[in-house]
Amino acid sequence: MSLSPVIGVLTVTLHLPASGSLKGKRQVVAGLLRRVRARYGVAAAEVGERGRWQIAHLAVACVSQDASHADEILAHVLRYIEKESREAQITEVTTELIRA
């Protein structure tokens, strides 16, 4: 077993069709990110295009010793986002595992 850590990065693009303002978008996104951080112990943030009120780009990162474990955590996070983001539609997802 390698001692090199694995960094897992999940990026998710959400479309929020009902959002009519940046304030409305931020309420939805901030709440979702707060719950993801608390539930899974990952780093999570909104990244890119923060000025558009119907699009949100989210990034979630975790560190593990095992690539399959990092991938599993990110898969759980994605399922949670799919389930919990009723006001949003997922339009793009990418997952990357980086051996440090």
* Strands laid side by side in the 43-46 sheet: 43-46, 55-64, 6-15, 89-99
Domain 20-99 is found in CATH 1.10.1740.10: no
pLDDT in tens, 16-33: 999 889 998 999 999 999
Single pTM value for the model: 0.91
Q: pLDDT-derived band of residue 93, with 50, 70 and 90 as boundaries?
A: very high
Nearest to 5 by CA among 97, 74, 72: 97
Q: What pLDDT is recorded for position 3?
A: 78
Which DSSP state fits 21? S
Q: pLDDT-derived band of residue 48, with 50, 70 and 90 as boundaries?
A: confident
